[in-house]
Amino acid sequence: MSNKKAQFSKHTLQLAQKYAQQLMQNDVIELKSDDDKDIKSEDEQLNLEEDQDEQQEQLEEQQDDENNDMNDEEDQDDQDDQDDQDNQEDQDDQDNQDNQEDLDDEQNEEDEQEIVEEKEEPKKQKKIKKQQQQEVEEQQEEQMESFQQEEDLNDQLFETDLNAVMNRINKIIEALKQKDYGKYSREELLNELRKHLCTYYGYNQDLMSHFSSMFKPAELVAFLDANDAPRPITIRVNTLRTRRKELAQTLVQRGVNLDSVGDWTKVGLVIYESKVPIGATPEYLSGHYMLQSASSFLPVLALAPQMNERILDMAAAPGGKTTYIAQLMKNSGVIFANDTSKDREKALFYNLQRMGVTNCIVTNYDGRKFPKVMKNFDRVLLDAPCTGLGIISKDPSIKAQKQMRDILKHSHLQKELLLSAIDCCKKGGIIVYSTCSVSVHENEVVLQYALNNRHVKIIDTGLQVGNPGLLKFEDKKFHSSMNLAKRIYPHVHNMDGFFYAKLKKINHGPIKEEIKKDVQEPQVMTKKMKKKQKQLEKLRLGEARKQSQQQQQQQ
């Protein structure tokens, strides 16, 4: 048996050695191709890190031994050697020699290297050895970077191998963290990172550049990862029909594993696991709960509706937030649930009926025209239509479809809707603006527009959930109260990406009304006026002719 074992181990050793050699050769070839392409840049590298160069040269020498055909490069290598010698003179000779000796082994295993070092120099340089190890690690990283920096070669690899893309993404991020950019500039690395993130996560370039301007590289990857992972299913208990304890008990009896969402809500339950379809239990059908993402609770909690108030939900379908408002008001007062789309109206209607909401009026106006229908609401909730960049985990098609153009389009609509919502509200009333998007254009920019055009101020939401809103983004700067708005990120809060802000209306009417009228009205009038003027001119001309004819006749 022992013989067999020995044979077996010998065999494995041989295999391992072969494999190691292959690996070596591969590395060598890759490095070599480096040199083929970046002959000029080697000088730069030399300036950056001497050790790196030495390493490469050594490898080149190996190559020359192995590949005698490559005669052209020998000249270069000779040059490099000279440079090296110059550099070596500057440093401690021993260090460099050790490095050079060890370099070949490093690529396979550090352990071996340590052993070798220990044997060769047991006494003298323990401190130096540590330094060497650090240097070696750095060198390895730099090596990897030098791999990364050959774009053409690696791109061919990457298109077929997602793992390789991921490795490279991680390396670039580390490099960016340590501010160790190698021979490339930060921007170039960032561009490359974006490109690879696009291929790995399947986003279009537009969205990725937008996200990368919002997040730091490491956070960006966390965000993208979170977008690929499903969010936990959450339900909201309908207190019009039941209580959370009762519902939890009955659901547990049905084989549902659940827990409360958090301390900030008394009506939320997280579903971890369920034997029955959670959207078709008798309790669901009786309207005891509603499937709703936890982040959708927040704007309603911020709105804080009171009994007997008149409330407008400007974009209500499919009614998750509307039913929550009714529940908080205990079916008193009046809720106007408006939605532009007639297709979504049915879902809204059935949800309202199922949840036993009786104080609701469902209307089908364009939200922008609602101020003409009715004004002076106590509170207005605007959960604006958006690109849904916060709910990519629910709808992955957003990744490929939505572009900057869509974001700006929505942003424009949202501005109009928010102004309209503010106009609907009474003086001193509350407006809550929310979107399920994380983009700045659909949130802070819209709020800033409202601040510029209406007498409103942003007030505290009264909730602790969420990161503060941004005060500046790219070239834009926002009002100092913008940090009272809240942002929910999937990778931070494990909820759908969300934004909500609470506004208080101070006074009626737009700001700078007179100036706007001066600008707008003449533009509108000129078209009509032109026609009238033309008609008038014609008439005048006709009269003039008649008069002249009459005069001629008289004469």
Partner 1 sequence: MRQLNEEETKIFFEKLGEYIGANIKLLIENEEDPHVFRLIKNKVYYMSLQIANWATNVGKDELLHVGTYFGKFTKTKKFRLNITCLEILAKYAKHKVWLKPSGEQSYLYGNHVIKAHLAKMSENIPQYANVILFSLQENPLGFGVASRSTLQCKDLDPTAVVVFNQADLGEYLRSEDDKNNEK
Q: Is 339 annotated as a binding residue?
A: yes
Site for partner 1 in 374-433 (CB under 8 A): 374
The answer to the question of residue 359 lying near partner 1 (CB under 8 A) is yes
Q: CA-to-CA distance for 133 and 111, rounded, in angstroms?
A: 11
Using CB under 8 A, count the residues that bind partner 1: 29
Q: Min. distance of Cβ 364 from partner 1 in angstroms?
A: 5
The answer to the question of residue 25 lying near partner 1 (CB under 8 A) is no
Q: Min. distance of Cβ 280 from partner 1 in angstroms?
A: 6
Q: CA-to-CA distance for 101 and 83, rounded, in angstroms?
A: 18
Is residue 436 among the annotated active site residues?
A: yes
The answer to the question of residue 306 lying near partner 1 (CB under 8 A) is no
Single out the segment in contact with partner 1 by CB under 8 A; choices: 117-125, 215-223, 350-358, 383-391.
350-358
Q: CA-to-CA distance for 420 and 429, rounded, in angstroms?
A: 14
Q: CA-to-CA distance for 214 and 473, rounded, in angstroms?
A: 8
**79, 134, 353, 452: which one contacts partner 1 (CB under 8 A)?**
353
Residue 549 dihedral angles phi and psi, to the nearest 5°: -60, -45
**354, 410, 415, 486: which one contacts partner 1 (CB under 8 A)?**
354
In terms of Cα–Cα distance, which of 130, 120, 197, 118 is closest to 158? 197
Helix (H, G, I), strand (E, B) or coil at 269: strand
Q: CA-to-CA distance for 533 and 525, rounded, in angstroms?
A: 11
Q: Is 466 annotated as a binding residue?
A: no
The answer to the question of residue 280 lying near partner 1 (CB under 8 A) is yes
Q: CA-to-CA distance for 445 and 423, rounded, in angstroms?
A: 19
Q: Which of 360, 386, 425, 436 is catalytic?
A: 436
Instruction: Pick between residue 54 and residue 345 the one whose CB is nearest to partner 1.
Output: 345
Q: CA-to-CA distance for 473 and 482, rounded, in angstroms?
A: 12
**20, 24, 271, 334: which one contacts partner 1 (CB under 8 A)?**
334
Q: Is 316 annotated as a binding residue?
A: yes
Instruction: Pick between residue 352 and residue 470 the one whose CB is nearest to partner 1.
Output: 352
The answer to the question of residue 249 lying near partner 1 (CB under 8 A) is no
Residue 430, number of CB atoms within 10 A of its CB: 23
Single out the segment in contact with partner 1 by CB under 8 A; choices: 162-170, 196-204, 353-361, 456-464.
353-361
The answer to the question of residue 290 lying near partner 1 (CB under 8 A) is no
Given a contact cutoff of 8 angstroms between Cβ atoms, the answer to whether 383 and 344 are in contact is: no
Residues 6+ apart with CB under 8 A from 65: none
Can you say whether residue 171 is alpha, beta or left, with left for phi > 0 and alpha for psi between -120 and 50 degrees?
alpha
Given a contact cutoff of 8 angstroms between Cβ atoms, the answer to whether 258 and 276 are in contact is: no
The answer to the question of residue 362 lying near partner 1 (CB under 8 A) is yes
> Which residues are catalytic, by number?
436
Q: For binding to partner 1 (CB under 8 A), which residues are involved?
A: 250, 279-280, 282-283, 285-286, 310, 334, 336, 345-347, 349-350, 352-354, 356, 358-365, 373-374
Q: Residues annotated as binding site for S-adenosyl-L-methionine?
A: 315-321, 339, 366, 383
